[in-house]
Amino acid sequence: MTVRLLVNENFPAPSVACLRAAGYDVVSVAESYAGMEDANVLSLAVREKRWLVTFDRDYGELVFVRGLPPPPAVILLRAPSYRPADPATWIMQLSQEPDARHGMFTVFDGGSIRSRPLIAGGAK
């Protein structure tokens, strides 16, 4: 499975560069869609079949509370502090098992990983 990423506006540019240098297909909201509303970012990830990578907890509400269609995967990064290139390293590690992340809302806090299934159309 090829992992295609849509990194939210809050994803550090040095990490975008690292992921691209490692061969990842990365679309950056900050570069191409600055100021786009979260619901539209989510819709873009769905349309382009990309994993959504973000530091923004609002995506959990959009999918699980509001019932918006989810993308193939959501990675929520919640590390309290990090260097600008660290998120790229985390994503490379998390994407080594793409089948374990596909269809999941995964939270990574810098040390532990928690995942919850994404349900098409939101929580039932």
Cα separation of 38 and 1, whole Å?
A: 26
Does residue 52 surpass a pLDDT of 80? yes
Q: What is the pLDDT of residue 1?
A: 63
Q: What is the pTM of this model?
A: 0.92
13: tokens are: 């540019």
Residues 6+ apart with CB under 8 A from 67: 121, 122, 123
Q: What is the pLDDT of residue 117?
A: 96
Q: What is the pLDDT of residues 4-30, one digit of tens each?
A: 999 999 999 999 999 999 999 999 999
Q: What is the pLDDT of residue 120?
A: 53
Domains of the chain: 4-117 (3.40.50)
Q: What is the pLDDT of residue 123?
A: 40
